[in-house]
């Protein structure tokens, strides 16, 4: 029987939806008992949210002032301690999980499975390599704890309606003091979160300037969509880095993805391959983005985008 511990991601007292996606992945393992660990300086509100996720049997609330900010080397010894008695420890394949989970794996002396996209059995998983251009089937050693990150774009959010018990839990572990959290500068936005949005509109280098990006924001607001960008648009300074979609940015799976002025480099395509419908608008009919687009339109984006906004 599999007993799975999921490390919750949270910020400002709110649970990140990636946690409920990890629960879906854990539920794909037959007969799994799923617990969620919330490590924080004040975990109560987040733990209460986690307890409502369908499929969660128990929430471990670990309160410690040292956990006020998610410093991987501080969290890892606690998670490794909590892992005792569990067959699996999962975290989301977000920057939080990618930073933390390899530390947990190293403390437990096991290899980590990165980016689980499918579960074959309790120890056999599918994961992407080479920017998603090959999918491998990997088997984790059966005698040891499975430490893994879950590719959030591959899994739906588990629903609400659960009523797990919340257990205040104390962990005895020596925590390092070699790292000081200084600050987090958040991109302020009223738009839907890029990773959870049902619709995403992205702009690329062809936008030409930060100012020109306004037509993307305007279209996104009309459609209730989140805004994303290619690496070229981020590097050119048109938008902040947290909007980057692709192999090294965010990997997303919205119902609708609209790529505007994006040529479609391999590294960008890996971030959107699982989108329900991909729409490409580009003036170059040979752009690689058209090879994976469900609907393509060749033309000048500065004409098409405002026209599209009006027509919707």
Q: Which of 84, 172, 178, 286 binds other proteins (CB under 8 A)?
A: 178
Rounded CA separation 271/252 (Å): 6
Query: Six-digit token pair at 224?
Result: 């209730």
Strand pairing of 112-116 and 165-168? unpaired
**Piece in contact with other proteins (CB under 8 A), picked from 39-47, 153-161, 213-221, 292-300:** 292-300
Q: What phi and psi values does residue 81 have, to the nearest 5 degrees?
A: -65, -45
Q: Is 152 annotated as a binding residue?
A: no
Task: Please give the Cα distance from 210 to 237 (Å, whole number).
Answer: 7
Q: Is 73 in the site for other proteins (CB under 8 A)?
A: yes
Of 28, 45, 138, 212, the one binding other proteins by CB under 8 A: 138
Binding to other proteins by residue 76, rule CB under 8 A? yes
> Which pair of structure tokens corresponds to residue 49?
């949210």
Residue with tokens 């962990």: 171
140 forms part of the interface with other proteins (CB under 8 A):
yes
Residue 170 found at the interface with other proteins (CB under 8 A): no
Question: Which residue number, 1 or 311, has a Cβ lying nearer to other proteins?
Answer: 311
Residues 191-220 that bind other proteins (CB under 8 A): 195, 199
Tell me whether residue 29 or residue 140 sits nearer to other proteins (CB atom).
Answer: 140
Task: For residues 119 and 151, give the distance between their C-alpha atoms in angstroms, rounded to a whole number.
Answer: 11
Residue 96 or 213 having the CB closest to other proteins: 96
Q: Kindly compute the dihedral angle of the four CA atoms of residues 254, 260, 265, 266, in this order, to the nearest 10 degrees.
A: 10
> If binding is defined by CB under 8 A, does position 180 make contact with other proteins?
yes
The residues in 3-22 that bind other proteins, with binding defined as CB under 8 A, are: 11
Asked whether 82 and 5 are in contact (CB, 8 A), the reply is: yes
The DSSP call for residue 108 is H
State how far the Cα of 136 lies from the Cα of 155, in Å rounded to an integer: 18
94 lies in the binding site for other proteins (CB under 8 A): yes
Using CB under 8 A as the binding rule, whether residue 79 contacts other proteins is answered as: no
Please report where in the chains the tokens 């704890």 appear, as a residue: 145
Report 32-61 residues binding other proteins (CB under 8 A).
Answer: none
Residue 56 or 71 with smaller CB distance to other proteins: 71
Q: How far is it, in rounded angstroms, from Cα 57 to Cα 36?
A: 8
Query: Is residue 235 near other proteins by the rule CB under 8 A?
Result: yes
- The answer on whether 248 is annotated among ligand-binding residues is yes
List, in order, residues 6 or more apart from 249 with CB less than 8 Å away: 231, 234, 241, 243, 271
Which range, of 52-60, 106-114, 162-170, 207-215, touches other proteins by CB under 8 A? Answer: 106-114
Please state the separation of Cα 193 from the chain's center in Å: 11
- Is 262 annotated to bind a ligand? Reply is yes
CB of 232 to other proteins, least distance (A): 11
Binding-site annotation: residue ranges for FAD: 205, 230-231, 244-248, 261-268, 282
């Amino acid at each position: 029987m599999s007993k799975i511990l999921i490390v919750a991601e949270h910020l400002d007292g709110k649970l990140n939806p990636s946690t409920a996606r990890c629960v879906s992945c854990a539920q794909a393992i037959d007969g799994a008992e799923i617990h969620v660990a919330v490590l924080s300086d004040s975990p109560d509100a987040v733990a209460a949210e986690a307890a409502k996720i369908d499929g969660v049997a128990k929430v471990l609330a670990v309160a410690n002032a040292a956990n006020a900010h998610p410093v991987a080397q501080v969290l890892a010894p606690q998670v490794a301690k909590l892992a005792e008695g569990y067959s699996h420890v999962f975290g989301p394949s977000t920057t939080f999980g990618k930073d933390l989970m390899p530390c947990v794996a190293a403390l437990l002396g096991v290899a980590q499975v990165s980016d689980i996209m499918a579960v074959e059995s309790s120890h056999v998983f599918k994961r992407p390599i080479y920017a998603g251009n090959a999918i491998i089937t990997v088997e984790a050693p059966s005698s040891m704890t499975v430490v893994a990150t879950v590719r959030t774009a591959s899994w739906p959010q588990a629903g609400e309606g659960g009523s797990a018990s919340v257990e205040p839990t104390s962990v005895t572990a020596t925590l390092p003091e070699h790292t000081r959290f200084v600050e987090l500068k958040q991109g302020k936005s009223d738009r839907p979160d890029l990773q959870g949005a049902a619709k995403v509109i992205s702009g690329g280098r062809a936008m030409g300037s930060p100012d020109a990006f306004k037509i993307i924001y305007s279209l996104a607001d009309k459609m209730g969509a989140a805004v994303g960008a290619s690496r070229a648009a981020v590097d050119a300074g048109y938008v902040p880095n947290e909007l980057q979609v692709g192999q090294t940015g965010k990997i997303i799976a919205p119902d609708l993805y609209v790529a505007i002025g994006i040529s479609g480099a391999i590294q960008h395509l890996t971030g959107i391959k699982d989108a329900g419908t991909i729409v490409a608008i580009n003036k170059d009919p040979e752009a690689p983005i058209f090879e994976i687009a469900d609907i393509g339109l060749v033309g000048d984006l500065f004409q098409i985008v405002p026209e599209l906004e009006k027509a919707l």
